[in-house]
Amino acid sequence: MNRRVRLIVVLAAGSACAVIGWIYFWQGRPIGGGPSGPPLARKAFARPWTERQVMLVGLGDSVTAGFGARKGYGYFDRLLANPPGEFRDMQGISLSAVLPNLRATNLAISGSTSLEHVERQLPRLPTTDPNVFGIVVITTGGNDLIHNYGRTPPREGAMFGANSKEAEPWIKNFELRLESILTGINSRFPGGCRIFLANIYDPTDGVGDIHRAGLPAWGDGIRILAAYNDVIRRCAGKRENVHAVDLYAAFLGHGIHCRQFWGKFYRAEDPHYWYFENLEDPNERGYDAIRRLFLIEMTKVASRLT
């Protein structure tokens, strides 16, 4: 083989390796298998938390509705009871195991925004009897940000593509709506309640390059997402019975950059994708992680469900 041929072979091999590497690190989004998310302390589920009547309520968007998961495998259903084929470390760990007088209703609707949560879902939540204690789980605000995927000019409730200045009044209005939702929930439970409010995850793993997922570039998207999460944090911090659930931190490293070992949030123990094929919802491993995150926050206040 002469020098010219060898050079061509080397260049061709190098190009092939570059393409393979690009596909592997930038396009590959393996889901993996098995448990995901943090472990739970089994002793927290060894005895009932309360004998009171308890109502578990789901409010919000497709994350609480369980879009992208089989029936029984969304996080709300998994809070209630273990699904078939439950992971060994979670067997016997659910709200049904510790709340013998538990009822549940899930009012969440896929595709809904925070505007619809305050205007349509909250009115559907009836006022309960004073002997009923409420546990309410909420995911809200994510659709405000990602809709309509840049296909229409940004507006309140469909902010994709907005710049920070035009988003300012919409962020303020989101805070007013969220305050209204929390106040309204409390009024529906004269016997008391605990509210578990999730923040919003970022499928770009903190990078902000949403265009790599096939959507239009959004320069201010990461800042507006941070502003929404600040609102959620502030609203949760104002009320003793509202508890923040940090999906944002838990999902970093499980988005579109999950294979990039040089990334700030690379998860060597589980370098896998936790999102569904539509990008905005979790896959079943993501729902497993969310279920665990909610339960961990609930165990912190289990002794006060009276």
Per-residue pLDDT for the chain (306 aa), expressed as one digit of tens each? 566 545 444 444 444 444 344 445 555 689 999 999 999 999 999 999 999 999 999 999 999 999 999 999 999 999 999 999 999 999 999 999 999 999 999 999 999 999 999 999 999 999 999 999 999 999 999 999 999 999 999 999 999 999 999 999 999 999 999 999 999 999 999 999 999 999 999 999 999 999 999 999 999 999 999 999 999 999 999 999 999 999 999 999 999 999 999 999 999 999 999 999 999 999 999 999 999 999 999 999 998 776
Distance CA 145, CA 194 (A): 27
Residue whose entry in the numeric block shows the structure tokens 């949403």: 210
- 3-class SS at 195? strand
Sign, CA torsion 25/30/32/36: positive
**Overall CATH class of domain 31-304:** alpha beta
pTM over 0.85: yes
Residues whose CB is less than 8 angstroms from the CB of residue 146 and which lie 6 or more positions away in sequence, other chains included: 160, 280
Distance of alpha carbon 257 from its chain centroid, rounded?
Answer: 17
